[in-house]
Every structure is written in C-alpha cells, then in structure tokens.
Amino acid sequence: MENEKKASAISDVGAWGMNIVSSVGIIMANKQLMSNGGYAFSFATTLTGFHFAVTALVGLVSNATGYSASKHVPMWELLWFSIVANTSITGMNLSLMLNSVGFYQISKLSMIPVVCVMEWILHSKHYSREVKMSVMVVVVGVGVCTVTDVKVNLKGFVCACLAVLSTSLQQISIGSLQKKYSIGSFELLSKTAPIQAVSLLVLGPFADYYLTGKLITNYKMSSGVVLFILLSCSLAVFCNVSQYLCIGRFSAVSFQVLGHMKTVCVLTLGWLLFDSELTVKNIMGMTIAVAGMVIYSWAVEREKPANVKTHHSHAKNSLTEEEIRLLQEGVKNNPLKDLELAEDKS
C-alpha cells in the first residue's frame, strides 16, 4: 500500500513537472517564433491548429500500435467539448488583442474563482476556508507581478468574459469526461485533438486575419520558421498530454494554481534569456505567489484526512441504521437468521 502511494506521488510530480517544463518551453519557443524580434509568425490560432494536428497524429499512431486503447465516448460530447475548447482559444486571442495587458492578466486571474463557482454549481463541490485564503494569496501575488495598466472596452470585456467562462468549463469538462467514461487522459486527448485540429486549421486563418490583418498565405516561410514550428508542435504534444493528466489527477482549481507557477517561471526565464526587466515589484509578487502556492498545497493535504473521516462517519451511520432495521425485522420474523445477517453486514 505504501509503495502504491509512493508510485502515485511520483507520477503526480512527474505530470506536474512535465506540464510546467513543456508549457514554459512552448512559451519561449513561441516568443521567438511570433515576436517581431524573431520570425514574426503572428498566426496564433493557425499555429494552435498545427499543434492539435501533430497531437492527433501521435494519438493515431499510438492507437494503431496498441500503445493506447480507444474507448467509446459519444460524438456529441466530443463535439461539445471541442467547441468549448476552440472558443477558449479564440476568446483568449481576442481578449489579448482587444484589451490592455493588465486587463488580460486580471481576466486570467479571475479563472480560479470562476472555476470554484462552476464546480460548486455543477458538482456541488465545497472548499475549506484555508484553500480559499491560499487561492487569494496566489491571485494577489500574481496580480502584483503581472498587472500594470488596466484599460477596459466593451468588446474586450465581452471577449474576456467568453474566454474565462469557456476556459474554466473546458478544464472542468476534462476531468468530468475522464471520470464519466473511465477513459485515460491520452485516450481522451486523441479523440478530441482531430476535431480541434480540423476546425482550427479551417477557421484559424480567418481568425488570424481578423486579429492581425495579415494572411498566412502571404507569409514567407524559412527553414528557421519551420524548425521552430516543429519545436512548438512537439512541445504542444507534451503540454496537451500533461494538461489532461494534471486535471485528471488533481482538479481544475489545482491546475489553475499550477498555471500561476508557470507565470512565475516565464517571468524568471524572460529575465534570464530575453533581457526582460525584473523589478522589485515583480520579485515581491513572485514571492507572495509562491508562498500562496505552498499554503495551497498544505491546505489541500489538510483537507484530505477530514474528507476521509467524514466519508467513514457517514458510511458508519448508514450501516448502523441498516443494522437497526435488520434487528427490528429479526425480532418479528426469524431472530437467529437475521441477527447473523446483521453480524455479517457489520
């Protein structure tokens, strides 16, 4: 039993670590690919289509070689999830385009409370006071790090709301689908990736034209661009797989806290690799955020024994009522037989 717990803990850390490394890596690769100082490949939605196309190809090869098994998930659920996921991607791109960086960061920070409210509404999930407090500390810390000027306009506000709601629903749906159909993270991803790839590759160029005013057909490819696109797609496979792994193992809220750890890593690597400015305000915010993440981990671990105790308590109460019912019936009918049944039941 102890070995199983250790193996589970190691796999949890591995999934968490893979998500952080791949997410930070893909941000760094995309920064070089899409920035004006790099290759100026500014077609973010189409690039995401490439990501899912490669992920779908990996899933197809995995299923064909027997590495992973394909389980049935109704097509309408896959289509619904893909629509939500693509709305999240497009909404985030539009929010970044139409809003100031400060408001964009605030909208991303709002995902934690939105996820909490959605899980409460959809799954009747409750959170302890310690978890709520630690989440607030993380939000404040990341806010101090990243939020600068805040300018709001109606179009940007609507797109930000759409992005936050769809992203939160997507992350909750990943865990729900995995539990509902007893399907692994990679198997679920291999089913949704082809749908997302086709839809994004068809609609992506139009969305990118609206966002940037540029057509991808007019962009001049080079060997360097192709290399970084391949690197970005390779990292995206690990990023997508680890995202499904993390949400399947933890929760949507924990995944959001993990996301803010990536924000801290990106700020630090940006300072080390790209000469980005790192101010006292950034350092103070990162310190607060990391402290909040430590408190969150402690609060979640503290909740587990309480939940197990409550579960056992409820189970015992139900069993006692059943014993009483059996004993009462036994007095009237066949005492010896029913008393034995009650003893076996206990």
Residue by residue, DSSP assigns 302-331 as: HHHHHHHHHHHHHHHHHHHHHHHHHHHHHH
* Residue 231 confidence (pLDDT) above 90: yes
Contact 246, 16 (CB under 8 A): yes
* Residue 328 confidence (pLDDT) above 60: no
Structure-block tokens of residue 295: 């408190």
What are the tens digits of pLDDT across the range 111-148?
777 887 888 888 777 777 777 787 777 777 767 766 66
| Mean pLDDT, residues 2-27 | 74
- Closest listed residue to residue 38, CA positions, set 229, 216, 211, 218: 229
H helices of the chain, in order, are: 2-34, 44-64, 75-98, 101-109, 111-123, 129-146, 154-180, 185-212, 223-249, 252-273, 280-332, 335-345
Residue 184 CB neighbours (<10 A): 16
Sequential DSSP letters for 91-126: HHHHHHHHS-HHHHHHHHHTHHHHHHHHHHHHH---
Rounded to whole angstroms, how far apart are CA atoms 258 and 253? 9
**Hey, where are the domains in the chain?**
1-314
Q: CB neighbours of 135 closer than 8 A, spacing ≥ 6?
A: 112, 113, 116, 253, 257, 292, 296
Identify the pLDDT of residue 20: 78
Contacts 24+ apart (CB under 8 A), 106-113: 106/143, 106/147, 106/150, 107/160, 107/161, 107/163, 107/164, 108/164, 109/139, 109/142, 109/143, 109/147, 110/164, 111/164, 111/167, 111/168, 111/256, 112/138, 112/139, 112/253, 112/256, 112/257, 113/139
Identify the pLDDT of residue 339: 35
* Residue 243 confidence (pLDDT) above 70: yes
For the chain, percent of residues with pLDDT exceeding 90: 17
Contact 94, 273 (CB under 8 A): no
Residues, the chain: 346
Listed ranges 166-180, 216-230, 247-261, 282-296; the one with the highest mean pLDDT:
216-230
Structure-block tokens of residue 39: 């290759």
Identify the pLDDT of residue 344: 43
What are the tens digits of pLDDT across the range 45-80?
899 999 999 999 998 888 888 777 777 889 999 999
Rounded to whole angstroms, how far apart are CA atoms 294 and 203? 41
Note the pTM of the prediction, 2 decimals: 0.68
Identify the pLDDT of residue 225: 92
Contact 82, 196 (CB under 8 A): yes
Rounded to whole angstroms, how far apart are CA atoms 66 and 62? 6
| Mean pLDDT, residues 97-124 | 76
What are the tens digits of pLDDT across the range 139-177?
777 677 666 666 777 888 888 889 889 988 988 888 888
